Homo-oligomer: A and B are copies of this chain.
């Protein structure tokens, strides 16, 4: 078994656990910084590690296009290529094919699409998705799924679920690496019956972990918050549950309350590049002139490299003059923030105080939002 999942404590539906992988153990609930193209944007592996990252994500679609998965395989795999020796999860590429590539044709066989890089005609099948991820050598691979658009009709949604189940079986049959776990992905949009049907069929394949897909795509945060308490329990209780592409701190808190264990999202790095910092009391826009002479760090009690060394005034200056150190320092802080958030969540679950922690976090954010931004 490539991964082993242990649940150590519960608080309501929230779970405290450990995810053991060939490249180390990650505590759960955990946030996974996104390293799309074999790099978490602007941040070195050393900086990532010292910001508290334990497991990171790589993107199958991007890496298959450039530099190509065979190149990475020949260089010793993704861990070595990007010099990250901790666990890595790779997505299946399905989401990117459906959101980034041009002109695609989906059939039960797979999806034919044009590369967003050079327009080349390519095909992604369940077997190829598994092959790419085996070439990358991630600790956790994901099944290829079909991600219908938000406006999909019930018929299209049902067909996408049928196809995702079909593809999951083919991924399982194609998967060979014993040092890599393959997770299933439950689709179905906001149709709970469809989600349940998908979850039940996939459960029969006994994947070592399960994800909820489609919630970062079309559904509104409110719809997601409403659906999660129904959807999370559809996934096997003794397996890690991963909510793909989510999200804001409040989304993560809602998902943990529903029983989700794993998260990934580009927000910490994307917002960091855009001069926006997460803090426990709300977000800060560093381009704002009120930071010009401010000698205080982003957060007084944050142990990250950025907060230990630099003032808001300095960060404001870096963004004012477009220096690349600004995005780097803010990305470091934001990643550290997300990992501090999940660490605090774990501590709260252990102390059976998760609901209080969540309420307290949200009230502080609320207060600050009106006061500052």
Contacts and interface: CB of A to CB of B under 8 A. Distances in A.
A43 B329 CA distance: 10
Contact of A41 (B41, B66, B317, B323): B323
Contact of A42 (B45, B47, B320, B325): B325
Interface residues of A, number: 40
Contact of A37 (B39, B46, B321): B321
A328 B42 contact: yes
A278 interface: no
Contact of A310 (B83, B305, B329): B83
Copies per complex?
2
A314 B37 contact: no
Interface of A: 37-39, 41-47, 62, 66-67, 71, 74-76, 81-83, 292-293, 295, 305, 309-311, 313-314, 316-318, 320-321, 323-325, 327-329
Given A66-B320, A76-B295, 6 more contacts: A37-B321, A38-B314, A39-B323, A71-B292, A71-B313, A324-B324
21 contacts: A37-B323, A38-B314, A39-B318, A41-B324, A42-B328, A44-B325, A46-B305, A66-B317, A66-B321, A67-B292, A67-B317, A67-B320, A71-B313, A75-B293, A75-B295, A81-B311, A81-B313, A82-B314, A83-B310, A83-B314, A324-B324
